[in-house]
């Protein structure tokens, strides 16, 4: 009995020492070494791929943003600012529930199933809004033109991209609200459309923040 207690204690002591030694290797040396090399070789990427417009940081090219008008009094959800290209819905983002001294961006998905009543309503409302907002006097968006990414929330809620199809149906509206020609705006979208990586990985994308920065420059010039 006494012997087995001693043996167990000895074994646990060995386990603790193994844990501590390996924590130094994998929990301190490894991440510090990677951080050092990463900061030396890819400082921009290692710190979040921030991008600037007019010399000011306006976000990260990897993190999607909302392009909304300021909240009016009595309003609960802000309206989209139709001057700018709109990204995907962000219904899955979280709200600070712990450590509320911060207002962190909290990534997340809606986790609603295909037969969930709330999701069905969100998708319907989003589709109606996309059709209404993007139709102009001489350009009518059809329901079948609206791609799925325009009316669904992404996995992270921070999707920086939209599909080229969603960018395309916004072109007429953007031209109208900014006093540009449709051809000018379409050219801008085409320039900011990225094909699949190496031709076959993932899907074609348009980075919304980069596109809006370019749009802002174009508006300022014309």
How many whole angstroms separate alpha carbon 138 and alpha carbon 145? 16
Structure token digits, residue 43: 């400082």
Build a one-symbol-per-residue string for 37-76: x at contacts with another protein by CB under 8 A, - elsewhere: xxx-xx--xxxxxx--x--xxxxx-xx-xxxx--------
Strands (E), 147-190: 161-162
Part in contact with another protein (CB under 8 A); list of ranges 131-139, 175-183, 185-193, 207-215? 207-215
Give the C-alpha distances (Å, rounded to integers) separating 10 from 6, 7, 15, 16, 26: 6, 5, 9, 10, 24
Count the residues of the shown chain that bind another protein, applying the rule CB under 8 A.
107
> Judged by CB, which is closer to another protein: 110, or 134?
110
Q: Does 3 bind another protein (CB under 8 A)?
A: no
* Contact status: 161 vs another protein (CB under 8 A): yes
Q: Taking each helix axis from N to C terminus, what angle separates 164-178 and 208-221, rounded to the nearest 10 degrees? A: 30
**Interface pick for another protein out of 90, 134, 152, 170 (rule CB under 8 A):** 152
For another protein, give the closer residue by CB, 53 or 182: 53
101 binds another protein (CB under 8 A): yes
**Distance between CA atoms of residues 95 and 78, nearest Å:** 16
- Least Cβ distance, residue 180 to another protein (angstroms): 18
Which DSSP letter does residue 84 get? S
In the list 110, 170, 174, 192, the residue contacting another protein (rule: CB under 8 A) is 110
Q: Does 8 contact another protein by CB under 8 A?
A: yes
Q: What is the dihedral of CA 174, 180, 184, 187, to 10 degrees?
A: -10
* 185 is an interface residue for another protein by CB under 8 A: no
Select from 79, 120, 190, 222 the one that contacts another protein (CB under 8 A): 120
Pick the binder of another protein from 19, 181, 217, 222 (CB under 8 A). Answer: 19
Q: Which residues contact 215 (CB under 8 A, 6 or more apart)?
A: 84, 85, 174, 178, 185, 188
Residue 38 CB, nearest approach to another protein (Å): 4
- Under rule CB under 8 A, residue 197 binds another protein: yes
> How far is 10 from 36, CA to CA, in rounded Å?
38
Q: Is 18 in the site for another protein (CB under 8 A)?
A: yes
């Amino acid at each position: 009995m006494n012997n087995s207690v001693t043996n167990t204690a000895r074994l646990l002591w060995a386990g603790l020492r193994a844990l501590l030694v390996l924590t130094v290797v994998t929990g301190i040396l490894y991440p510090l070494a990677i951080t050092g090399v990463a900061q030396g070789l890819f400082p921009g990427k290692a710190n979040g791929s921030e991008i600037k417009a007019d010399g000011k940081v306006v976000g990260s090219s990897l993190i999607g943003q909302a392009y909304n008008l300021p909240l009016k009094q009595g309003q609960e959800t802000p309206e989209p600012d139709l001057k700018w290209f709109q990204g995907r819905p962000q219904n899955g983002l979280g709200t600070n529930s712990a450590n509320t001294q911060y207002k962190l961006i909290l990534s997340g998905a809606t986790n609603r199933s295909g037969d969930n009543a709330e999701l069905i309503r969100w998708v319907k409302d989003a589709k109606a809004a996309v059709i209404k907002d993007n139709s102009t006097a001489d350009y009518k968006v059809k329901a079948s033109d609206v791609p799925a990414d325009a009316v669904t929330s992404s996995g992270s809620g921070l999707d920086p991209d939209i599909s080229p199809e969603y960018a395309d149906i916004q072109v007429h509206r953007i031209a109208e609200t900014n006093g540009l020609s449709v051809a000018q705006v379409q050219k801008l979208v085409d320039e900011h459309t990225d094909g699949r990586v190496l031709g076959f990985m993932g899907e074609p994308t348009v980075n919304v923040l980069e596109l809006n920065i370019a749009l802002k420059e174009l508006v300022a010039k014309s």
